[in-house]
Amino acid sequence: MVVLLLVGMFVFDLIVRKMVADRIEKELAQNGWQAQLDGFDYSLWNKEVEIYGFSGVSMDEEQHKQFGEVRLNNARVKFNADKENILNELIITEAQAKFGKLDKLEIVPGKKFSAKDLIINNPEEFGGGPLIEINELKVVFGGITKEGRQRYKKVEIQIGRINLVKNMKGKWLTDGASQFQMKLRNMESQKGEGEIPEVDSLSVNIGEVALLDLSQKGTARVVQVNQVIEENNNPKGYALGVFLRIIGVIANAKNQADP
């Protein structure tokens, strides 16, 4: 009897694993991704699925250009106990793509979002190396606006370093700041899709700025700035002001670094 029970449990486990694997493959294919996994685990009791060693590419040309190959060391997904299509929690560790990488990402929909050791890369024409090295990013969700968009109660960004690069053509990435400034101004005036999300409290802490000229040999010049930029109670008009202050911090660092 015990042997039959063990065999039954083993067969049941195989069936469930096949169902989970088929669902993962189906979801990826429906979203235009070609991927492979080193393995996965699941818990019916906890409504969890854990994926190991994910690597994949999007079959969409634009997404492939943006993301390249995506690699995840581990991803754990926890679903709602009553509604299996509702995500309760997502935790990703050691993720890497063309635009950058991170050590850990945690999302609790409707409540919080956090990331640790997040690196956003420079464009390829500026070397493709790290642009912004974020030690920690914390986002606390607020309510939903009357337009049905997510509002954010608090956003904290701890930036360890901003790496500013002058490319082989003699241009700094910040040379295009005026164009981005205009884009932000337009976004602040938009409604609906393309509108900047509302944020009640925003804090950006910048530790240092490194400047590197690709046309010259040598290492980057590093300037300690230790600046904190805050914007409170301005949920719809914060973006442009914060961006200009960050550009100001970078400009001051460039002046200090100049011989």
- pLDDT tens column, 126-150: 888 999 999 999 999 988 877 778 8
Q: Are residues 63 and 117 in the same domain?
A: no
pLDDT of residue 148: 77
Q: Which of 94, 128, 144 is the last residue of a domain?
A: 94
Q: Are residues 125 and 40 in the same domain?
A: no
pTM of the model: 0.82
Of 76-85, 86-95, 101-110, 237-246, the range with the lowest mean pLDDT is 76-85
Count: domains in the chain: 2
Q: Are residues 137 and 49 in the same domain?
A: no
Confidence band of 17 (pLDDT split at 50, 70, 90): very low
Q: Are residues 90 and 115 in the same domain?
A: no
User: Residue 2's CB: how many other CB atoms inside 10 A?
Assistant: 6
Q: Are residues 109 and 207 in the same domain?
A: yes
Q: Are residues 89 and 127 in the same domain?
A: no
Q: Which amino acid is at 2?
A: V
Q: Are residues 86 and 199 in the same domain?
A: no
Q: Are residues 59 and 107 in the same domain?
A: no
Q: Are residues 62 and 139 in the same domain?
A: no
Q: CA 121, CA 166: separation in Å to the nearest integer?
A: 14
Q: Are residues 158 and 247 in the same domain?
A: yes
Q: Mean pLDDT score of the chain, rounded to an integer?
A: 79
* Full domain range(s) for residue 86: 1-94
Q: Which of 94, 126, 155 is the last residue of a domain?
A: 94
Q: Are residues 65 and 177 in the same domain?
A: no
What proportion of the chain, given as a percentage, has pLDDT over 90?
26
DSSP 81: S
Q: CA 229, CA 239: separation in Å to the nearest integer?
A: 12
What are the start-end ranges of the E strands in the chain? Answer: 33-36, 39-43, 48-58, 70-79, 87-97, 100-108, 112-121, 130-144, 150-166, 199-213, 221-232
pLDDT of residue 218: 73
Overall average pLDDT of the 91-98 stretch: 89
52, 62, 106, 173 from 124: Cα distances, Å: 29, 16, 28, 11
Confidence band of 4 (pLDDT split at 50, 70, 90): very low
Confidence band of 19 (pLDDT split at 50, 70, 90): very low
Q: Which of 77, 94, 111 is the last residue of a domain?
A: 94
Q: Are residues 195 and 74 in the same domain?
A: no
Overall average pLDDT of the 216-240 stretch: 88
Contact call for residues 59 and 53 (beta carbons, < 8 A):
no
Residue 119, pLDDT above cutoff 80: yes
